[in-house]
Structure 1
Amino acid sequence: MKKRLLIGAGVLLGLFLLLIVSLFVFRSRLLNYTINRVVEKVESRYPVDFTIGEAGFTDLTSVVLSDITMVPHGQDTLFRTDSVHAKVGLGSLFRGRIVLRELKVANGYLTAIKDGGRDNFSFLLKSDETQPVDTTAKSSRNYGELLNRILETAFDNVPDQVDFSNLNVSYTSPNRIIDIRMPYLTIEDGDINSQVSIRTDSLINNMRVKGTIDARDYNIMASLYASDNQGIRLPYVKEKFDGVVAFDTLHLGITDKTFRRDKLTVKGSAMVNNLMLNHEKLADEDIYVKEGAVDYVVSLGQNLFVIDSLTQVRVNKAKANVYASYSNADSKIIDLKVKTEALPANDFFESLPTGLFETLEGIRAEGKLQYKMKFHVNLDSVERVVFDSDLDASKDFRIVQWGKANLEKLKGPFMHTMYEYGKPIRTFMVGPANPFYVPLNQISPYLRNAVLTAEDAGFYKHKGFHEEAFRQAIATNIKKKEFVRGGSTISMQLVKNVFLTRKKTVSRKVEEAVIVWLIENLQIVSKSRMFEIYLNIIEWGPDVYGAKDASRFYFGKQPSELNLAESIFLTSIIPSPKRFRSSFDSYGNLRSWKSGYYRLIGGIMARRGLISQAEYENLYPNVRLYGRARDLIVTAPDANYEDTTEFELETIDLLDF
């Protein structure tokens, strides 16, 4: 029995040795056969000459390939490299493909050139027209399936060991130059290390790259560090968006991926240090974020993109869970939800990016704050847009130190400066020391009620915000595809005039909302005091500010003496006071299109009992001009004047209509 076992073992050993000898003898033929198949496949698919100068084994599994080139027919060389050293899995050779265990590449050059209508690379981007068309496939592409294939192909072909030296990628066209130089790239035992210099036209980024990779678990973490004092700047942001995005360090990673039921889910994280943003639509100044991070869960499928609610975003110390989705299966539907835990109020204010909320910088508080927001819109029916936003404070919340602007100045007299195109044009006292200041009870009730009716009918009921007005504004802006309506309340207009610039930036709108919330929820001043200040500082014409100045400029009387028609006229020009002349003809008569505004405002005032039915029925859309306004407006005879002004009711914020 033992003898038979020994004989059997001897036979197996002999067969194994024979297999090794055969592999050693035939491996070169097998390698050449596989390489020839690869070359034939490439040249049959693309109009190129693909050449591998020499190929051979240096030991049992180590291969060296030299003088590799890819030259498109009639074009400049697209790719060349001096040598490729690799360890090959012998099993892969029998399957007709090469799987590399170790890879070493020296002096590689990928050179893409575009000159006029000719280039040496576009053939790679064309679809394979020889493949049959799947007429049963859905019309839209499943980007989750596409990305899953890309990820699996990339991870499955990562060698265990990589040693690249002097790799170069360039793209040249008449109006664009991209040049990437990589002196070295190594992957050893899952550790990634590289140095990269990227030139995009005149912008040069020099960086170090470090990280780890585990191809079996689809796990990769990479960190980009600026290797000079210039930081890392994103290219083309200035050219395409007239902005700047730069940072010192960026960490990116994928920790898990699954593909089930035609949906790809990717989990990972990202973090950026010393992020700088600049764009005129965001803020007047550079925006700085010391540290921002996100732990994300993202899903892609057929007509679907979802950021899962498990996604957490952090800006400095402030954290929020974010849910977002976009679906276009039948209709284009967008959902967005943001929710924070109750966080210390000081952390909230200290986490505000520098340069984004200048007025609030330096503010300190006690207690806790929690924010929740919900947004939903079907782009086929934007009128039904959903928007709910709440900032809740704990009972012990209070401000212990104001920032650059002290909101409590509204309690008493203060100096106020008006700006135009970012430049100060007039400074005056808001208080009794100013002869043009008028207390609220000395302003005609007609003017007070007309302004409230047109600008903010719910002013005395809400806490600074009118969500229905916001929803209407969002719907209008989506329809127009631009910012044409803001849904501002009187509280918001007051804050904008007293504390902020008039530029329509994202930061100004958010800062405006935060300041309004502070004033209203901390009850810094009463509603009547806010309305009084508002009526004393808003613009009503050329260097005309406040109700008293406006009453004298147009009608030569005190604000307490204004009648209903005069009050409605003054209300009508609040949205565009510089266009006051367009309301009159050359004889000083109100133009006919103003009658629609009078019927609208007068009718609402009558229904709400702010004026009697008789006053409404006797309301005539005309006023008699006196004072300086008459000298500027009345120029009759003017037979050549043609009225081309059209009145748009949508420019008026009629809240609670």
Structure 2
Amino acid sequence: MKNKILIWGGSLLAFLLVVIVVLFIFRSRVLQYTIERVITKVENKYPADLNIGNAEFVDWNSVVLNDISFVPHGLDTLFTTDSVYATVSFRSIFKGRIVFKRLEVSDGYLTARKNGDVNNFDFLFKKSETAQPVDTTKGRNYGTLLNRVIETAFDNVPDQVDFKNLNASYKSPNRMIDVRMPFLRIDDGYVESQVSILADSIQNNLRVRGTIDPGDYNINASLYAFDEKGIRLPYVKKKFEGEVAFDTLHLSLTNKRYRNEKLTVRGRAMVNNLILNHAKLNDEDILVKESAIDYVVTLGQNLFEVDSATEVRVNSAKANIYAAYQNKPSKIYDLGVKTEWMPANDFFGSLPAGLFENLDGIKASGELKYKMKFHVNMDSLDYLVFNSDLDASKDFKIQQWGNTNLQKINGSFVHTVYEYGKPVRTFTVGPSNAFYAPINQISRHLRNAILTAEDAGYYSHKGFHEEAFRQAIIKNLEEGEFARGGSTISMQLVKNVFLSRKKTVARKVEEAIIVWMIENLDLVSKNRMFEVYLNIIEWGPDVYGAKDASRFYFGKEPSELNLNEAIFLTSIIPSPKRYRSSFDSYGNLRSHKGYYYRLIGGIMRRRGLITQEEFENLYPNVKLYGRARDLIVTAPDAAEEDTTEFELETIDLLDF
């Protein structure tokens, strides 16, 4: 029996040795068969030629492939590499079709070229000819496009690969990108690389580490700068006239779902030491030490949506963001911001360094909560929605002022006027200034005319007039430019006293926060704010405040101003440097002022601020004296007294 077993075992061993010898002899044929199958599969899928110059075994389970290229039909070569060293699955040799377990690629060059509408890479992302045709009249579906890019990228990720000296470049008539990777390793889902990227004359040197799971479309990567320059985004300067830089970026895609021609992606991004610079944002760098976003984004046919589950964190402050854009059949924009109750110190401490100079260093107790909603259909601007609410808990209180004590305007203070970022005049706002006028020494006509024209609800609102702001947005969208501001007197005061005159997003946000604090914490009374406003606003060439303006134009005290003079002074507040355009060379008010007088006078009559008799006697004419007359009246035969008469038509009060 033993002998039979030994004989059978020996026979089996001999058979296996024979099989191994046969496989060893014919493995080159198996390798050639496998390569032919790969080439056929690739060339059937893409309009391109895959060329492999030579392939041979160098030991039992190792193969070297040389002179590999991938060339689209009639276009420039897309990829070449000198050699690929591959480890072969020994079991796959027995099956007659070789499977490569690990790849080592040396000196690879990916070269993308574009000239006009012709390029050598777009074919990789196109659907097959058997796919359903796309209705291009509906616009481009970016969800479908991005889904195709993601799937193509993930489907071509190898299990194990080691690139040495991998190079990629993109070149078009107006753009060039050059990427060099001394190494790139992918080993069972773990990715590591060193990368140098040259784009838009910006050189970035960084390391990349992370994991990738092609089966679940999951990637988690970290990018670190390994020089003092950090990581700077290219083309931001050229396209947006700004700069974006950071030290570290952590980026992940955790889930992808494509249904009904809509792509939804979920993931997270974290950035350390983010620096933003743009003239429209702020006149200096904006630094955010820590920021993160947990995002849920959907793209579809003419649709882009950031789901309300998206959470943004800036330092310690968190908010949920909703944003949507639809461009067919109508352009519709939506934006929503919502926070839960947060410690006030977290809010102020999270404001980016250098962004809000007056608020730096503030300490507060209690909690804050914010909510904002914006919606506009560009075909129905009258139905625009804008709501903004910042709420404070009952125990909210400022414990310590930062760079600026917002209560300084309760007493005398030194005010500096700036133009184009440069100081042009400095004066004291208080009794020690001979041109200072207490509010009770300023004509009621001037006070009422300014309130009527600039901020009718001043004494009833808390610093903001949402309807006025909504109407300003509508007007600006209709005009296609910044044509109307919607600022209240409180906002104008804060802008003049505490902020620069540069029109940046940061200034508007800081303005809103300061106004909210002054009004909601009752830091300054309404009368005092109005009094300061009347003493600092510009009314002409180096003319600031009601007393200076009264003397400059009419040679009288502000308490002596009549209704005609008050309405004229009110009319030039929006553009004080254009004061001369209100008069002809004889010193007479131009005819176009008649409409303004009818408008303001009619509203004042309706509100009981002037009598019917005063309204009937109102006409757009004033008498100039002093310095203003010397500058405005240039006609050689101008009379000392004007006798021009104007008829002020009766106005239906319902018009206002």
Q: TM-score, normalised by structure 1?
A: 0.88
What is the match of residue 33 of structure 2?
Answer: 30
1:575-623: CA deviations, max 9, x gaps?
Answer: 0000000000000001111111111111111111111112112111111
- Specify the code of the residue in structure 1 equivalent to 2:565: E
- The alpha-carbon distance between structure 1 residues 440 and 198, as it changes in their structure 2 partners (threshold 3 A), is same
- Specify the code of the residue in structure 1 equivalent to 2:31: S
1:238-267: CA deviations, max 9, x gaps?
Answer: 222221111100110011222233332211
What is the match of residue 371 of structure 1?
Answer: 370
Contact 1:183 1:196 in 2 (8 A): yes
Gap regions ≥5 residues in structure 1: 1-6, 640-655
Q: How far 1:149 sits from its partner (Å)?
A: 2.7
CA distance in structure 2 between the aligned counterparts of 1:93 and 1:569, rounded to whole angstroms: 97
Contact 1:439 1:532 in 2 (8 A): yes
What is the match of residue 559 of structure 1?
Answer: 558
CA distance in structure 2 between the aligned counterparts of 1:342 and 1:227, rounded to whole angstroms: 39
1:513-536: CA deviations, max 9, x gaps?
Answer: 000000001101110110000000
What is the match of residue 64 of structure 1?
Answer: 64
- The alpha-carbon distance between structure 1 residues 73 and 342, as it changes in their structure 2 partners (threshold 3 A), is closer
In the TM superposition, 1:465-476 aligns within 5 A as 465-476=464-475
What is the match of residue 647 of structure 1?
Answer: none
Q: How far 1:380 sits from its partner (Å)?
A: 1.3
What is the match of residue 195 of structure 1?
Answer: 194
Contact 2:245 2:274 in 1 (8 A): yes
* Secondary structure class of the residue paired with 1:141: coil
Contact 1:316 1:351 in 2 (8 A): yes
Contact 1:586 1:637 in 2 (8 A): no
- The alpha-carbon distance between structure 1 residues 77 and 626, as it changes in their structure 2 partners (threshold 3 A), is same
What is the match of residue 241 of structure 1?
Answer: 240
* Secondary structure class of the residue paired with 2:514: helix
What is the match of residue 4 of structure 1?
Answer: none
In the TM superposition, 1:96-245 aligns within 5 A as 101-112=101-112, 121=120, 134=133, 139-172=138-171, 176-245=175-244
Contact 1:24 1:60 in 2 (8 A): no
Sequence identity percentage: 68
1:37-96: CA deviations, max 9, x gaps?
Answer: 257548x835xx653211345578765321123467898654321112345789999999
In the TM superposition, 1:336-351 aligns within 5 A as 336-351=335-350
Q: TM-score, normalised by structure 2?
A: 0.88
1:179-221: CA deviations, max 9, x gaps?
Answer: 2110001112322111001112431110011111122222111
1:509-559: CA deviations, max 9, x gaps?
Answer: 000000000000110111011000000000000000000000000011111
Q: How far 1:139 sits from its partner (Å)?
A: 2.1
What is the match of residue 399 of structure 1?
Answer: 398
CA distance in structure 2 between the aligned counterparts of 1:569 and 1:507, rounded to whole angstroms: 34
CA distance in structure 2 between the aligned counterparts of 1:567 and 1:609, rounded to whole angstroms: 16
Contact 1:105 1:165 in 2 (8 A): yes
CA distance in structure 1 between the aligned counterparts of 2:117 and 2:526, rounded to whole angstroms: 69
Contact 2:112 2:121 in 1 (8 A): no
Report the count of equivalent residues.
626
CA distance in structure 2 between the aligned counterparts of 1:75 and 1:547, rounded to whole angstroms: 75
CA distance in structure 1 between the aligned counterparts of 2:595 and 2:369, rounded to whole angstroms: 44
Bigger shift: residues 168-177 or 605-614: 168-177
- Specify the code of the residue in structure 2 equivalent to 1:425: V
* Secondary structure class of the residue paired with 2:503: coil
* Secondary structure class of the residue paired with 2:552: helix
Q: Please state if 1:606 is matched with 2:605.
A: yes
- Specify the code of the residue in structure 2 equivalent to 1:81: T
Gap regions ≥5 residues in structure 2: 1-7, 639-654
CA distance in structure 2 between the aligned counterparts of 1:525 and 1:118, rounded to whole angstroms: 63
What is the match of residue 428 of structure 1?
Answer: 427
Q: How far 1:304 sits from its partner (Å)?
A: 2.5
Q: How far 1:150 sits from its partner (Å)?
A: 2.4
CA distance in structure 2 between the aligned counterparts of 1:120 and 1:90, rounded to whole angstroms: 40
CA distance in structure 1 between the aligned counterparts of 2:269 and 2:300, rounded to whole angstroms: 22
- Specify the code of the residue in structure 2 equivalent to 1:443: I
- The alpha-carbon distance between structure 1 residues 514 and 18, as it changes in their structure 2 partners (threshold 3 A), is same
Contact 1:31 1:93 in 2 (8 A): no
- The alpha-carbon distance between structure 1 residues 91 and 511, as it changes in their structure 2 partners (threshold 3 A), is farther
* Secondary structure class of the residue paired with 1:628: helix
What is the match of residue 650 of structure 2?
Answer: none
CA distance in structure 2 between the aligned counterparts of 1:123 and 1:94, rounded to whole angstroms: 39
Q: How far 1:490 sits from its partner (Å)?
A: 0.1
Q: How far 1:326 sits from its partner (Å)?
A: 2.0
Contact 1:112 1:119 in 2 (8 A): no
In the TM superposition, 1:450-529 aligns within 5 A as 450-529=449-528
CA distance in structure 2 between the aligned counterparts of 1:60 and 1:375, rounded to whole angstroms: 68
What is the match of residue 51 of structure 1?
Answer: 51
CA distance in structure 1 between the aligned counterparts of 2:93 and 2:478, rounded to whole angstroms: 60
Contact 2:223 2:248 in 1 (8 A): yes
Contact 1:256 1:267 in 2 (8 A): yes
- The alpha-carbon distance between structure 1 residues 587 and 19, as it changes in their structure 2 partners (threshold 3 A), is farther
CA distance in structure 1 between the aligned counterparts of 2:153 and 2:60, rounded to whole angstroms: 27
